Amino acid sequence: MAKTIDAVLNGHLRGAHSMEMNVLQMLVALITTTKDPEVTSLLERHKSETEAQIQRLEQRLSDRGEDTSTLKDAGAVATAFFKGLGDVARSEKATKNARDGYVTEALEIATYHLLERLAQRAGDTATAEVAATNRAEEETMRRALDANWDRVVDLVIAEEGITTK
Ligand SMILES: [Fe+2]
């Protein structure tokens, strides 16, 4: 039997929630290892935004009658992709973190584009609005990362004592 749009939407809402729980863990790890104060405050801001995004997604799941008691566990299951993000021991971590952070924002933006449209098809305006709100914050974060490529390279050159001549 074909799935209903509501079932598909619930699956995407759960997926978005799990993604954000992983992002939250990643941000906490990044904040503890980032030395640059400007980058740290950017990460702190996005951590607060991410916590609010998680709350909004949980509210939508709950309003849609989904069982939210199992959600906390889902976030603890890091995918191989996100596990890679936590590997801060390797050298040139500033460039790795910047690249992975940018990829993560793109993943989040794509997730919310799809969630918004699925919600519209399902006639769930409130979920569509949550998706749009969350996506706007991810787009702001991606623009902030986009403005920092030179800074990241400066950082890694300084941290690693790389000679440029
Ligand atoms: Fe997010």
Express each pLDDT in 112-157 by its tens digit: 999 999 999 999 999 999 999 999 999 999 999 999 899 888 888 8
Q: How far is the CA of 125 from the centre of ligand 1 (A)?
A: 20
pLDDT at residue 82 above 50? no
Contact (CB, 8 A) for 71 and 17: yes
Is residue 109 very low, low, confident or very high in pLDDT (cuts 50, 70, 90)? very high
Query: What pLDDT score does 91 carry?
Result: 53
Query: What pLDDT score does 88 carry?
Result: 46
Residue 165 lies in a domain: no
Number of domains making up the chain: 1
Q: How far is the CA of 21 from the centre of ligand 1 (A)?
A: 9
3-class SS at 77?
coil
> Is the pLDDT higher at 26 or at 70?
26
Residue 38 lies in a domain: yes
Q: How far is the CA of 1 from the centre of ligand 1 (A)?
A: 33
Contact (CB, 8 A) for 8 and 65: no
Q: How far is the CA of 95 from the centre of ligand 1 (A)?
A: 21
Q: How far is the CA of 162 from the centre of ligand 1 (A)?
A: 33
pTM of the model: 0.86
Residue 9 lies in a domain: yes
Q: How far is the CA of 35 from the centre of ligand 1 (A)?
A: 22
- Residue 76 sits in a domain of what CATH number? 1.20.1260.10
**Residue 45 domain boundaries:** 5-160
